[in-house]
Structure formats: C-alpha cells, structure tokens
Amino acid sequence: MTNTSRSEGPEVAEAVAEAVALASSWRRALHQIPELAFQEKKSSAFVRQKLAGLGLRMRAPMIGTDVVADLDVPRARVRLGLRADLDALPMEEAKNPPWRSRHPGFMHACGHDGHTAILLASARALSRLKAKLRVNVRFIFQPGEEVKCGAVPLVKAGALRGVDELFALHGWPGIPVGKISSRAGAIFAAGFFFRIELRGRGTHGATPEKGRNPLGAAGEIALAIEDLHAKWNGRSGAVVSLCQSNGGTASNVIPSTTTLAGTFRSLSPLEGPRIEADLRAAITGICRKRAIAVKIIVDRSYRYPVMNSAESVQRIRGAAASLGRGVWMPASAPSMASEDFAHMLRKVPGAMFRLGLGEKQPPLHAPAFDFPDAALANGVGLFVALALGRGLEPIP
C-alpha cells in the first residue's frame, strides 16, 4: 500500500484547499454548458482555458474535443494517468439552481461536470506541488463517454502512450458524501445494446388471417427475454432487459413492422457472447415459427467490464487513508452499469473509484440529479494523494 502520509504537509493542504475553492465555481460553470458526445466544444475550451498558465505540456486535440495535458517532472520515469469525462445527456433538468443548464434539453445528469472540475482542480494543485512529485502526470479529459464510447478512439490516437498506471473516478449517489469506495476486479459491467426489427404482413384489424402480425412475435420475444434474464441472472448475476417496444399506429390496423430494443450486461467478458447467442437463438426460433422476418442488431461498444487492478485499488485505499479516518469504504458489489473506462484499463493497469455523493442524492441519469459541491474536496484530495504517493513503490 502507498504510504501517502510521507507527502502530507501544510504546502499540500494549502494547494489542495486553494484548488478545491475554485472547483465549485468551475463545476457550476460546466453544469451550465452541457454538451453531447463529441460536441463538447465549449466544455473543452473551458478546460483548456483553466489549464493555461499551469506549466503543463498541452497536446493538440487527438479526436476533436479531447484535452490531454502532461505535467512533466525532471528525472521521473513513471507516468501516472488521471482521467475525467466531459459529455452530458439529452435530458431536461428538473431542478432550477442558479447554475441550471443553459442548453435546453441537455443536462449533466451523470456527474461529468463534477468529474471534470475535480480533475481540473487536481491539475492546478499538482502544478503547484511539482517539486514534491516523483512521477509525471497526464491529465485526460475524455469526450463521448455516454453512448459513443469515446475511450476507444482516444486510446487508438495514443492518449495512453507512455502511461504506466491510470485512475478515474465516478460520482456515486447512495453512499455518504466524500467517501471513497472501490474494489479489485469488476466494478462496472460489460454492456451490450440490442435492437430487434420484425417484419410481417400488415392488414386490417378485422381480417387478421390475411396478415402476419409482428406484434404477436414481439410479445413472445418479450416473454423469452424474461426467461433469459432469469436463467443468466440466477447463474452469474448477468442482466437481460427489454426496454423499448414500437409498433402499430392505430387500434384497427395490424402493422407490418415493429421494433424492440434492450440491453444485456455481464461482469465477465466471456459471458456477453454467450448471452447474445442465447438471445439470437430464442428470437430466430420464435420468428421462424411465426413466419416473421427478423433482423437483430447488437452494439458491442461497451463489451468489457471495468476490471480494477488489485494493486491499484490498494493504492486508492492508502491514498484515501491519508484524507482522514473513515474516508475509505470498500465496495461490496459491482454495478451493472457500464463505463468505457474499461477499454483504457485493457491498455494500462489501474482502477476506478466511486466518490460518495450522498445517501439521499437522486440517482445518476435522473432529471433531479446535481453533483454536490461538498464531494469535490475528497475527489481532488484523492487524485493529489495518488500522484504524490505513486512514486514510492515500483510499477507492478
């Protein structure tokens, strides 16, 4: 475990406190300008403006709206990576704080405004503490975490080249504000998204014998998906969910087409293809019996679970201990949500940790969600402690 206590002192505390004081205003400013995946022009410009003057080596954009910056330390041989995500969601905000979204129909409902503000503040604090660092630090502000899996093109473009270990955070409602929580192994699930397009033969509702109703097949498929969920959830905790159904336009017209959509998730990278095979077999069997044409489309972009290195989690635990007694909180179970940080951890060892946002905080992706400023301090403190303590032990 990293002995982060060696790096404590008034200078560290002052640098962190000064950065945290700015993080709140930065978080609120970012909250007002939510942008969807790969459209984060205002957000990335804001980040670049705040990083200017910190003595960082700024990289040219690699995939458009990314921001990658290096804090280089003389004679350091290890490079630590710290990552945050920039994008928001296509949702209307329910609350009306002074920092409410100024982009109608969009909001930071997943806390990426908080993640970005924390990484910005960490860059500011660590730039002041450069003389104490024994590692180089790369700050990675990633676009397109939601839906577009922006980690993949960013990794291909070289954002992790030269990075030896990588850390990221995710704000987490349901645990006390400021608690740091993580676990070795899977902490987020692999996520697959499916779309089922059914085509039969439409007819008048008064003459069903003249058509082939895709809605009947859709109903049978819905029941089959429930059975698949029961099978896989009982076996390993995997999830198979039908989430969307669209078909028909009137109560007296049998449609020719209908579509279904949903997701399946697993904590094992090996199970996803097996669940997909089961899903395809069930659907094609039903459609063959009913003479319904079918097309099954599966998006595998988030096909890997987020797998934390045990050594990196130990470093998070040690860094959390330096922030105060009781800050560390072991994560008892992984989440079945997915995160494209998984692709980064397949390239470089590291870990993601959860930052407590409060037990009564609305859930992620809810219209009433708002990242609490009270959580910012321990997010910044943890990143800074990791950077200051990372050089005290060898790369695993």
The per-residue pLDDT for 332 is 84
Question: pTM score, two decimals?
Answer: 0.93
Averaged pLDDT for residues 193-213? 97
Final residue belonging to a domain, choices 282, 302, 322: 302
CB atoms under 10 Å from CB of 103, counted, come to 14
- pLDDT-derived band at 393 (thresholds 50, 70, 90) equals very low
Q: What is the CATH number of the domain that holds 205?
A: 3.30.70.360
Q: Which of 287, 295, 299 is nearest to 218 (CA)?
A: 287
Question: What letter would DSSP give residue 51?
Answer: H
Same domain, 9 and 141: yes
The per-residue pLDDT for 8 is 55
Q: What is the CATH number of the domain that holds 11?
A: 3.40.630.10
Same domain, 69 and 155: yes
As a whole number of Å, the CA-based R_g of the chain is: 24
Q: Which of 384, 262, 234 is nearest to 316 (CA)?
A: 384
The per-residue pLDDT for 394 is 36
Average pLDDT for the chain: 95
Same domain, 276 and 334: no
Domain of residue 280: give its range. Answer: 190-302
Q: How many domains are there within the chain?
A: 2
Those residues whose C-beta lies under 8 Å from the C-beta of residue 230, and which sit 6 or more positions away, are: none
The per-residue pLDDT for 1 is 31
Strands (DSSP E) found in 178-318 = 180-181, 185-188, 190-199, 203-204, 239-247, 253-254, 257-266, 293-302, 306-308
The per-residue pLDDT for 341 is 98
CA 161 vs. chain centroid, Å, equals 21
The per-residue pLDDT for 10 is 87
Averaged pLDDT for residues 182-205? 97
Same domain, 102 and 224: no
Final residue belonging to a domain, choices 265, 286, 302: 302
Q: What percent of the chain shows pLDDT beyond 70?
A: 96
- pLDDT-derived band at 372 (thresholds 50, 70, 90) equals very high
Same domain, 182 and 195: no
Residues 74-128: pLDDT tens digits?
999 999 999 999 999 999 999 999 999 999 999 999 999 999 999 999 999 999 9
Residues 151-169: pLDDT tens digits?
999 999 999 999 999 999 9
Those residues whose C-beta lies under 8 Å from the C-beta of residue 180, and which sit 6 or more positions away, are: 316, 319, 320, 323, 327, 328, 329, 353, 354, 355, 356, 378, 382
The per-residue pLDDT for 6 is 43
Same domain, 42 and 179: yes
Is residue 196 pLDDT above 80, yes or no?
Answer: yes
CA angle 7, 331, 235 (to 5 degrees): 150
Final residue belonging to a domain, choices 302, 317, 350: 302
